[in-house]
Structure 1
Amino acid sequence: MASDPNAAQPPLRAAIVPVTPLQQNCTLLWCTRTMRGAFVDPGGDLDRLRAAATQHGVTIEKLLITHGHIDHCGSAGIFAEELGVPIEGPQEADRYWIARLEDDGRAYGVPGKPFEPNRWLEQGNQVTVGELVLDVYHCPGHTPGHVVFHHPKSQLAIVGDVLFQGSIGRTDFPLGNHQDLIDAITTRLWPLGDETVFIPGHGQPSSFGQERRTNPFVADSVLARA
């Protein structure tokens, strides 16, 4: 009897594709049973993203957006129109940033086009990719409408610019709020578990447990002294 080629496969696979001069981590994630996938934060360099989908044999069925900054979603509207797929996310408070994409694109040398998502996301929503179901967490602070995607079975979170290896998101941009960011990290991300690995918007992946031990901004020992 032939064996199931997917039997040993994890349900979710992910590949990081750095894009734009800001080296933003666009994530290609896909369902290994259906080979249907999504790009999270397709900020630019669409040729590179098309090549990644082809390389892994993934059919893109939607685009997911963590927040409205140019390096994360400047090309989302362009790409969605080309592929004929919907955009889901971020939370609607990031309309402010999405409306600025063309102007911000000129400032940063990145193509930017405002768009209207097919679905704004809220705390407690879920999104599907193939047969995968990801939970949505609203984590404001870096931007007011920032969301995080979490796949519990894989213990994987895609956190955009909320949290980094050894750092946290900037809050000095318009509508940023440092306390909101700290609260989002400690009340919405930490409960997902120390073993959860996260892909940040820039830099290398880490785990929530590692950051709780060592992050100079949000480690348990640091916050205990605050």
Structure 2
Amino acid sequence: MEYRKFHTGPLAVNTYLVYDETKEAFIVDPGGFSEKLCELAEEKGLHVGYILLTHGHGDHIGGIEAFRERYPDIQVVANIVEKEFLMNPTKNSSVLINGKPITVKCDRYVEDGETMRIGNMEIRFLLTPGHTPGGQAIVVGNVCFPGDTLFHGSIGRTDFPGGSYEEILKSLHDVLFLLPEDTVVEPGHMDGTTIGFEKRHNPFARM
């Protein structure tokens, strides 16, 4: 499994293109459209079949429509708890962030602990509420894409609609910190880290 990071959308979200030796690929959190991402996919001969969402905030979903136009058979996947959030521009803050209302109807909704296979990659979905009600971490091998639940040295905001400080701390301690310490963390913003580093150095690990 390999992946590349691209900064997309109005808030420079970390958007990831993930693929393996079978040439099957998926996108994580397209905050905006990226021609560079498409060029890389075409250069490597990848079939981009899925968009996997960690959560439904406007800065993470702004590129879905354009990618659907580029790849007509692409399927969008999110947690079932996030379904209403994705369909409500007020809750998903898309007007505030993108300057226009965005709604997303997914092709597939998953539940906590569910897995799916793309190429030879097994993807595991872990519900991590707190930043949004249906936020989820996407785990592939030893890499975790937690969206905005966990950052290098910090956690996501909880003052948006549907946010909960208590829930995000629970997600941190009872879900993400149970992953192996050598798990690579690739968040929705800023630099990557590891679970072990965050358990030892993240100030919210002691709360």
**Scaled by the length of structure 2, what TM-score is found?**
0.91
Unaligned runs of 5+ in 1: 1-11
Quick one: distance in 1 between partners of 2:153 and 2:43? 32
| Counterpart for residue 93 of structure 1 | 82
Q: Are 2:178 and 1:191 equivalent residues in the alignment?
A: yes
| Counterpart for residue 152 of structure 2 | 165
- Aligned pairs for 1:120-199 (under 5 A) are 120-152=109-141, 155-199=142-186
Quick one: distance in 1 between partners of 2:32 and 2:159? 24
Instruction: State the shift of 1:47 in Å.
Output: 2.1
Contact 1:77–1:113 (CA<8 Å) still a contact in 2? no
Q: Are 2:50 and 1:62 equivalent residues in the alignment?
A: yes
Contact 2:62–2:98 (CA<8 Å) still a contact in 1? no
Deviates more, 1:82-91 or 1:21-30: 82-91
| Counterpart for residue 215 of structure 1 | 202
Instruction: State the shift of 1:20 in Å.
Output: 1.4
Quick one: distance in 2 between partners of 1:179 and 1:86? 32
Deviates more, 1:88-97 or 1:192-201: 88-97
Contact 2:7–2:15 (CA<8 Å) still a contact in 1? yes
Instruction: State the shift of 1:81 in Å.
Output: 4.2
Would the alpha carbon gap of residues 114 and 170 (structure 1) be closer, same or farther in structure 2, given more than 3 Å must change?
Answer: same
Contact 1:126–1:136 (CA<8 Å) still a contact in 2? yes
Unaligned runs of 5+ in 2: none
Give the aligned residue type for 1:187. Answer: D
Contact 2:185–2:193 (CA<8 Å) still a contact in 1? yes
> What whole-Å deviation, never above 9, does each CA across 1:37-83 have from its counterpart, x for those lacking one?
00011110332332232344322011111100111112214422431
Contact 2:95–2:102 (CA<8 Å) still a contact in 1? no
| Counterpart for residue 108 of structure 2 | 119
Quick one: distance in 2 between partners of 1:130 and 1:171? 35
Contact 1:66–1:146 (CA<8 Å) still a contact in 2? yes
Identical positions, percent:
29
Give the aligned residue type for 1:47. Answer: E
> What whole-Å deviation, never above 9, does each CA across 1:130-151 have from its counterpart, x for those lacking one?
1211111000000001011112
Question: Helix, strand or coil: the match of 1:99?
Answer: coil
Q: Are 2:61 and 1:73 equivalent residues in the alignment?
A: yes
**Scaled by the length of structure 1, what TM-score is found?**
0.83
Question: Helix, strand or coil: the match of 1:200?
Answer: coil
